[in-house]
Structure 1
Amino acid sequence: MNELKIQILETLVTLFLYAIAFYITKNIIDNTLKKAQLHRARRKMIIKVTHLFISIAVVVLLAGIWGLEQKEIAVFASTILTVLGIAFFAQWSLLSNITSSLILFFTHPMRLGDTIKILDKDYPMEGEVAELTYFFVHLKTKDGETITVPNSLIFQKSVSIIVNQDKKMFEKALPNKLISTDIKENSAN
């Protein structure tokens, strides 16, 4: 078999394995995170990040299959790491917003449905977190407006999370209802 046919076969196998890995990771991560009772938007974000890393791995594999030398692949990988490093320090770039979205997603106590107040001296904002994307947080105000706030701005400013009373009452009532149902079932037996 000549070299071109081997490369095409290896590419097809890699793409087939990529499709399988894409499907399997989506289902496994989604099912695992459902059991952990994470919000649907958070599950979607984790799946997107996982698929991004899998896609980068496939691109590196395909580059190796088609003849890029290890030195060239190392330059590519170091370039990506450099760009990510700059993104951590850049204040107004798109990469900064993507990096901020990941940090907000994993470490910030703000959740979808929470009402937040961005404590800015000149332009204070308040609204319910409707969506968290790679670049923006969408806030829905009491007036029905949607404000898009860059993730890097939320990362830089102080944020006050206002507890929604209906949500708080629901969270308190739900466990009590489940406990009282379990007690009734056990006493019936």
Structure 2
Amino acid sequence: MEGFIEDHKSSLLFSLVLFVIILIFKIIFTSIVKKVGKLSDFNPVRINLIIKYINIVLITLAIIALTFIWGVNYRDLGVLLSSVFAVIGVALFAQWSILSNITAGVIIFFSFPFKIGNTIRILDKEILDTDNPEREVFVIEDIKPFHLHLRRANGEIITYPNNLVLQKGVVLISTYKSEEIAADK
């Protein structure tokens, strides 16, 4: 054991430094996301989902950095990774809409000006009902990683993909009533 520690002293030290840096980044990013979520009054489930995405990215970066620190044979690793990425690439190509919805969910978390409980109108010909304009108005019931739950005035629930929310025009009609009540106090 002592021989291993002596032989790999620098690699162990760099690995320790890497773990400390990753931990610091995790704490910083987590606190930033929680502050943004608190200031924007986001659902705690959405906040935890974004934190999970950040953790996945940090772990991936740590694994990549560890391969450099420990001097992994890149030829063998290249064959393995190219095979894995070929399989993943085919799978992701087949599921491209899922990946785009997850990415849109992250974007919506940080820049979406609407919250759960807001009344909106989505300018999408697919869901517009020109015969009954009241059917065009939706209340945001929930914001999930892949889609929004929208409720029509007649009680119908529609799931609308996150990537389409970013592509279509969205009009804010009214804000959630608790915000109006808080403003009256």
TM-score by length of 2: 0.59
The match for 1:118 is 122
> In structure 2, do the counterparts of structure 1 residues 130 and 153 end up closer, same or farther at CA, with 3 Å as the change threshold?
same
The match for 2:164 is 153
The match for 2:131 is none
Give yes or no for contact 1:30–1:43 (8 Å, CA) kept in 2: yes
Counterpart CA distance in 2 for 1:159 and 1:39 is 20
Counterpart CA distance in 2 for 1:93 and 1:46 is 19
Q: Gapped runs of 5+ residues in structure 2?
A: 129-135
Instruction: Describe the superposition over 1:150-174 as per-residue Cα deviations: whole angstroms up to 9, x where unpaired.
Output: 1111112111222047345314213
> Which residues of 2 match residues 29-108 of structure 1 at below 5 A?
29=32, 32-33=35-36, 37-41=39-43, 43-64=47-68, 65=70, 67-69=72-74, 93-108=97-112
Q: What RMSD in Å do the two structures reach over aligned CA positions? A: 4.4
The match for 1:163 is 174
User: Which letter does structure 2 place at the counterpart of 1:67?
Assistant: V
The match for 1:184 is none
Residue from 116, 128, 131 that aligns with 2:142: 131
Instruction: Describe the superposition over 1:58-101 as per-residue Cα deviations: whole angstroms up to 9, x where unpaired.
Output: 221343336154995xx98xx8xxx8xxx9xxxx6222212222
Give yes or no for contact 2:116–2:176 (8 Å, CA) kept in 1: no
Q: Gapped runs of 5+ residues in structure 1?
A: 175-189
Instruction: Describe the superposition over 1:81-138 as per-residue Cα deviations: whole angstroms up to 9, x where unpaired.
Output: xx8xxx9xxxx62222122222322223122221222122232254222222332112
How many Å apart are 1:22 and its aligned residue? 8.3
The match for 1:28 is 31
> In structure 2, do the counterparts of structure 1 residues 53 and 23 end up closer, same or farther at CA, with 3 Å as the change threshold?
closer
- Structure with more relative contact order (C-alpha pairs < 8 Å, separation 6 or more): 2
Percent identity among equivalent residues?
A: 27
User: SS where residue 149 of structure 1 aligns?
Assistant: strand
The runs of at least 4 consecutive aligned structure 1 residues that moved more than 6 Å come to 7-10
